[in-house]
Amino acid sequence: MRHTPDASIVFQCNICDRENQADLHQLTRDDPSCSKCGSSVRLRSIVQILTTELFGCSLRISEIPRSPELVGIGMSCWEGYADRLARHMHYRNTFYHQEPRLDITRIDPAMKGSLDFVIATDVFEHVGPPVSTAFENTRKLLKPDGVFIFSVPFTHPGGERQPTLEHFPELHDYEIEEVDGRFRLKNTTHAGAVQYFDDLVFHGGPGSTLEMRLFSEWSIVNEMENAGLHDITIYSGSDLRHGIYWPHPWSTPMAARVHPRQT
């Protein structure tokens, strides 16, 4: 089915159930497009992928069967869906800076193999290097056949062997300073060299969450496979019923699984 960008659709938000009317061009990855809860295409797509992977079809949160046996976590998920998900599953949102805490670069060994699903949407571009540790630890947290729901901004969809662009590959002991109204990063490398970086990209406003890297599609798939995650699905198809529309192939969300017999 083809749609022109100014085509108008009616969709039901899979987070808050509100029926909305929107032009397709309004359905962008990160702009609010539900008139009630303010969810974006990316946030609704996380619910689409979670329900598709766990229940075999794209459900609204209110349609999720009560499933306390399904155990999962989010990493700094949007509270608009986090609170609702927690009513249907054994789901807990976690945070880097507040309780309940999770630092994906240093996981609690007691949590290994305990989760049916992990959600990390637009988090891994902010995790300290090497990011491979975050992918490996995510796989370790999951049970056999557990699923990882993932998104980051990425470049080069469909491209081959385009590496991640690491902004601070030698990051070790660092702080962000404000100098004359501008932010700069001061890093002392493992070898003791001092580096300064001025051209910082923050998500969520200046001084907020620092972008550590820019992934490519290939580099994400490569990281997942190296970490022991398989069955990687890139969810670039539309789910217009729920207002999910991806006219461009970059930065779309994805899912990956741990093998059923893998430990």
**How far apart are CB 20 and Zn ion at their closest, in Å?**
7
For Zn ion, give the closer residue by CB, 24 or 220: 24
Interaction of residue 15 with Zn ion, rule CB under 5 A: yes
Q: Does 70 bind Zn ion (CB under 5 A)?
A: no
Quick one: 37 or 82, whose CB is closer to Zn ion? 37
Q: How far is the CB of 58 from Zn ion (least distance, A)?
A: 15
Q: Which is nearer to Zn ion, 47 or 115 (CB)?
A: 47
Pick from 24, 27, 34, 49 the residue near Zn ion by CB under 5 A: 34
Nearest-5° Cα angle at 222, 219 to 227: 125
The one segment of 13-21, 50-58, 201-209, 220-228 that binds Zn ion by CB under 5 A: 13-21
- Of the pair 13, 149, the CB lying nearest Zn ion is at 13
Closest to 144 measured CA to CA, from 63, 81, 231: 231
Told to check if 49 binds Zn ion by CB under 5 A, we report no
Nearer to Zn ion, 47 or 141 (CB): 47
Query: Cβ of residue 12: shortest distance to Zn ion, in angstroms?
Result: 9
The edge-to-edge listing of strands for the beta sheet with 154-155 is 154-155, 213-216, 165-166
Amino acid at 234: I
Name which position in 11, 16, 60, 123 contacts Zn ion (CB under 5 A): 16
Please state, in angstroms and rounded to a whole number, the distance separating the CA atoms of residues 155 and 163: 10
**Residue 37 lies near Zn ion (rule: CB under 5 A):** yes
Amino acid identity of residue 238, one-letter, is: S
Map residue 259 onto helix, strand or coil: coil
Comparing CB distances to Zn ion, the nearer of 27 and 171 is 27
CA-based torsion, 79, 88, 28, 162: positive or negative: positive
- The least CB distance from residue 37 to Zn ion, in Å, is 3
163: tokens are 């590496």
Closest contact distance (angstroms) between CB of 169 and Zn ion is 39
For residues 74 and 146, which CB has a smaller minimum distance to Zn ion in the complex?
74
Residue 13 engages Zn ion in binding (rule: CB under 5 A): yes
Distance CA 28, CA 55 (A): 26
Name the amino acid, one letter, at 104.
Answer: I
CB of 39 vs Zn ion, minimal distance in Å: 5
Question: Could you tell me how many residues of this chain bind Zn ion (CB under 5 A)?
Answer: 8
Is there a contact between 18 and 82 (Cβ–Cβ < 8 Å)? no
Question: Whole-angstrom distance between the N-terminal and C-terminal Cα of the chain?
Answer: 42
Instruction: Kindly report the three-state secondary structure assignment for every residue of 143-206.
Output: EEEEEEEEECCEECCCCCCCCCEECCCCCCEEEEEEECCEEEEEEECCCCCEEEECCCCEECCC
Query: Does the footprint of Zn ion cover residue 22 (CB under 5 A)?
Result: no
Residues that bind Zn ion (CB under 5 A): 13, 15-16, 18, 34, 36-37, 39
